[in-house]
Structure 1
């Protein structure tokens, strides 16, 4: 089981690397890694397990965050209509996106960043993601709202990009013209 100590912190060089593609089919070790990423995110949202093991709650986790520079992400969250998005993906890729942007009113956080970094993080309002599931199935997901933001945050990790790189340094809460404000 992954623990908070397994998650590397901001400043670690792996977080700034572009992660390597996972060759298909994935190795048994890669499967175990992706399963453990998804297990962590699910466990971190279960209050009993989270307090028992000292897990910080998260809705997504990328392999580089556990010092594995490979293109794997896990996401487990509900959208505003109560639909569950629970995926472990190999080689996720944004294949299309809206012109319109969106941001979380509360800002974004990250399991690799201990302090709060306030500010609006501009993202695409809608994206289409392609990837390969834990079961080896090729899928295409059309996402909007919180799921779209979460997938973009995790895919950024695969490219060495941190969420705060998107925050306007001069004016972190500068209104984003025409963007959809998403409450969480």
Structure 2
């Protein structure tokens, strides 16, 4: 497999609507997904969307390690043409970073519970409910397919910080 170059904020592909995928069983798509997974793990990250590697297609890969998912782990998943449905009006603030915006973190509001649908590389439907970190990762990666970066979702840019300085915001918020 190949490690791919990650597009950084400013690259126009990150602000464009990605194109739907007609044939999820295309062998070229399987190779792309494998390269995306290798790139995500090497970065290291928990998710990667095709626009982040300069491919304007509606495919994301993600995983939820047990230590990040409040005890829940989700194996590496390839999700094609994803659709998200919020399950309630609840929103939660949580820290997010992005491989396309290295070195920064921000407190981002996200739906606390979602249902997501899409298809896998075998063409079979995938439908799951998610909450917490799992829901956050899926929303973050799916946003990339619509040209949205996490900073666009932030209500207050005072909550955007360099990773090394994030403790100041956390300490101030926890009083």
Work out whether the TM-score is over 0.5: yes
Contact 2:18 2:51 in 1 (8 A): yes
Provide the rounded CA distance (Å) in 2 between the counterparts of 1:134 and 1:27.
8
TM-score by length of 2: 0.82
RMSD: 1.8
Unaligned runs of 5+ in 1: 45-54, 174-184
TM-score by length of 1: 0.78
4+ long deviations beyond 6 Å: none
Aligned residues: 157
With 151-160 and 84-93 compared, the bigger mean Cα shift is at 84-93
Q: Among 149, 159, 172, which residue is 1:162 paired with?
A: 149
Give 1 or 2: higher strand fraction.
Answer: 2
Provide the rounded CA distance (Å) in 2 between the counterparts of 1:32 and 1:170.
38
Corresponding residue number in structure 2 for 1:144:
131
Unaligned runs of 5+ in 2: 161-175
- TM-superposed CA distance for 1:171, in Å, is 4.3
With 92-101 and 147-156 compared, the bigger mean Cα shift is at 92-101
Provide the rounded CA distance (Å) in 1 between the counterparts of 2:125 and 2:55.
22
- TM-superposed CA distance for 1:39, in Å, is 3.1
1:122 paired with 2:112, answer no
Provide the rounded CA distance (Å) in 2 between the counterparts of 1:157 and 1:98.
22
